[in-house]
Copies of this chain bind each other. A is one copy, B any other.
């Protein structure tokens, strides 16, 4: 977790949206060649894009963009949550960026897992891992989020019943619980939850400070939460008093 130069790099690029390689080299006090190498590695991971002379962030309504925000924290959360998934199991994963990293971790760890998801981003993200088997549910395609939603998803879900469902969230309120920002997607995740015994939320702690527009789940519906240590203490106790198992990385 010790902050690497690459982390700084990503943060600067995210903040500036577009910045010259030369300027980055000045700020970080390394040669341009080194910056270029770092940038190429980050581009490889899909965390930013290159242009002749520049580094630019991904399109903000792209999933890769969200992936680049708090990347290290999300990665740690995903690693921790991956421990929960047994070899040879079948799990459901929703569409969040941390969920994508969870899937990737499972792939890297070589566990044989079947992932049922609504996200084509995730399906592609882990395409390289032979040990993962991905089933994508059917439905209306939302290109911006690369997710399928709507009544057809519910119908496709009929056939399934799993132990664990991993989801992300967009906002939180101690009284009302967790929130989403897209009606279709929120509704779809709720349908998924009906088919899973255990609901596990993966989210960086920033979401606990945000509101959302559509209620996703009440606290009573959530079983476990994986997040980072920055959760406000009041929220922490609130969650725990609702019998939610809290894992902090």
Q: Using CB atoms and an 8 Å cutoff, list the residues of chain A in contact with chain B.
A: 120, 123-124, 127-128, 133-141, 143, 146, 148, 152-153, 155-156, 159
Contact = CB atoms under 8 A, between A and B. Distances in A.
A148 B120 CA distance: 11
Each complex incorporates copies of this chain amounting to 2
B141 A123 contact: yes
A155 B128 CA distance: 27
Nearest to A133: B140
A159 B156 CA distance: 10
Contacts of A120: 120, 123-124, 136
Contacts of A134: 140-141, 143
A124 B128 CA distance: 20
A180 B155 CA distance: 29
A123 B149 CA distance: 14
A136 B159 contact: no
A231 to B, nearest CB: 34
B138 A156 contact: yes
Nearest to A151: B159
A53 to B, nearest CB: 13
Contact of A156 (B124, B128, B143, B155): B155
A133 B135 CA distance: 22
A181 to B, nearest CB: 20
B141 A138 contact: no
Contacts of A152: 135, 138, 156, 159
Nearest to A124: B143
